C-alpha cells in the first residue's frame, strides 16, 4: 500500500471553515403596519367624536367635550399619517429601534409571529410591568436568522397579540 493511500484513509475529512459569528443584524421597515382607510372611516370617527362631545356638553361637562373633540381630531390626523421607515438592529448590546436601544438586561423574552407573506413580526416582551410590548416588522431578513441570534440573549416564549393590539387592528390602525 502506498503512503499516499494510507494518508487518505487516515486523514480526517476536510472540515468546512466555520462562518464567523454574526455580530449584528440590521434591517429597515415601517414603524407600524399601515392600513389604508376609506373616507367613511374618517367620517365615522368625526361623527362619533362630535356625538360624544355633544352629549357631554348637554350634561354640562364642557371640559370632557373639549377633550373628546381634541382626541377625535388627533385620531383622525394619526389615521391619515403614513409610517416612516425606521432602522432596526440586533447587536450584543441589545435591540435598537432607530436611535433607541433596549438592552437585553431589560428584556424578558421574544417571539416571532411568522405567517408568510402576511405576517412577519418580531415581538419582544420587556421586564418592566408598565412598558409596552415591542413589535418590529421583519421585512427582508430571514426570521430563523433573527431567532438564532436572539436565543443567545433571550428566551423564546410564545407571546400572543394583546387585547389592545387586536382592538386597534380591528378598527383599522
5 vs 126, more confident: 126
Residue with cell 471553515: 17
- Give the pLDDT confidence of 113-126 residue by residue, as tens digits: 887 766 788 888 99
Is there a contact between 89 and 26 (Cβ–Cβ < 8 Å)?
A: yes
62 vs 133, more confident: 62
127 vs 66, more confident: 66
Mean pLDDT of the chain: 83
Helix/strand/coil for 38 = coil
- Give the pLDDT confidence of 8-56 residue by residue, as tens digits: 455 555 544 455 556 788 989 888 778 888 999 999 999 999 999 999 9
Element (H, E) at 146: helix 143-150
Any bridge partners for residue 74, and if so which?
A: none
Verify cis geometry, omega within 30 degrees of 0, for the bond prior to 117. yes
Residue 7 has a pLDDT of 45
Could you give the count of Cα atoms lying within 13 Å of 15 in the half-sphere of its Cβ? 5
14 vs 148, more confident: 148
pTM above 0.75, yes or no: no
Is there a contact between 16 and 64 (Cβ–Cβ < 8 Å)?
A: no
Is there a contact between 107 and 127 (Cβ–Cβ < 8 Å)?
A: yes
User: Which of 69-73, 75-79, 108-112 has the largest mean confidence?
Assistant: 69-73
Residue 33 has a pLDDT of 78
Amino acid at each position: 500500500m502506498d503512503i499516499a493511500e494510507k494518508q487518505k484513509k487516515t486523514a480526517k475529512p476536510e472540515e468546512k471553515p466555520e462562518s464567523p459569528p454574526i455580530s449584528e443584524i440590521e434591517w429597515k421597515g415601517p414603524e407600524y403596519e399601515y392600513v389604508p382607510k376609506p373616507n367613511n372611516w374618517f367620517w365615522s370617527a368625526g361623527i362619533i367624536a362630535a356625538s360624544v362631545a355633544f352629549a357631554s356638553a348637554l350634561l354640562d361637562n364642557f371640559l370632557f367635550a373639549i377633550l373628546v373633540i381634541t382626541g377625535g381630531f388627533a385620531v383622525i390626523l394619526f389615521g391619515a399619517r403614513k409610517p416612516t421607515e425606521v432602522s432596526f438592529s440586533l447587536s450584543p448590546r441589545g435591540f435598537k429601534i432607530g436611535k433607541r436601544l433596549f438592552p437585553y438586561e431589560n428584556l424578558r423574552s421574544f417571539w416571532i409571529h411568522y405567517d408568510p407573506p402576511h405576517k412577519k413580526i418580531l415581538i419582544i416582551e420587556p421586564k418592566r410591568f408598565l412598558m409596552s410590548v415591542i413589535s418590529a416588522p421583519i421585512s427582508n431578513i430571514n426570521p430563523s436568522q433573527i431567532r438564532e441570534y436572539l436565543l443567545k440573549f433571550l428566551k423564546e416564549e410564545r407571546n400572543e397579540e394583546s387585547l389592545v393590539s387586536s382592538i386597534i387592528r380591528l378598527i383599522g390602525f
